[in-house]
Amino acid sequence: MKYALAALALVPLGLTIASSSAALAAEPALIDRWNGPVVERLLTSLGASDLRRASLDSQAGLIAHTADGLNIGVYAKSCTAAAAPAEPFCRGLEGLTSFDPGPGVDRAALADRLNRQYAAGKFLVERDGSIRLTRYIDVDAGVSEANLRSQLAGFIALAKTAEAIVWAEPAKRP
């Protein structure tokens, strides 16, 4: 009864209250797990091309070329096992890319410097000597497509910045 009176009190102010089912229908669906078709569409909207399905540690993923010419991968992460034929439920995504700084570069020092400069990603030296950038995107609580697109754009922008720093490093040496 209190709620009905409160709703009636709002009507003279020009405010209306939508039914809860109508309000929920108007909300965009949140992405709360790995969704390959959505990730593919968002990467394409960011200028990525040559998208191919891939897997990393048995998790689904996509590899692509960015508009700037970088090779990137985006993979499902934080997955719970599922009985076949169901797919695992993956609560996150991870963007990956690697750079080779060339001979004579202190790779560990360069990765350490990049980690201090750019907290939005993690840089590490791989066994082959390349420097890998990773960025984890948590979707467990649900994110909008616009938010996920922004997160992927941030990963690509960070990768482009890191590429310029890593590849310029040999030129800085005497």
Which CATH number fits the domain that encloses residue 92? 3.30.1460.10
Least-confidence region, from 64-68, 131-135, 156-160: 64-68
Instruction: Give domain status of residue 52, yes or no.
Output: yes
pLDDT score of 27 more than 70:
no
**What pLDDT, in 10s, does the model give residues 97-151?**
999 888 889 999 999 999 999 999 999 999 999 999 999 999 988 999 999 999 9
Instruction: Give domain status of residue 8, yes or no.
Output: no
Name every residue whose Cβ is closer than 8 Å to that of residue 142 and which is 6 or more positions away in sequence: 30, 31, 32
Instruction: Give domain status of residue 107, yes or no.
Output: yes
How many domains would you assign to the chain? 1
pLDDT score of 17 more than 90:
no
Torsion angle of the four alpha carbons 56, 59, 63, 68, in this order, in degrees rounded to the nearest 10: -90
**What pLDDT, in 10s, does the model give residues 82-94?**
766 767 788 999 9
Instruction: Give domain status of residue 137, yes or no.
Output: yes
The DSSP letter of residue 143 is B
Token pair, residue 61, equals 């993923």
Token pair, residue 147, equals 């938010």
Quote the pTM value: 0.78
pLDDT-above-90 percentage for the chain: 56
- CB of 64 closer than 8 Å to CB of 8: no
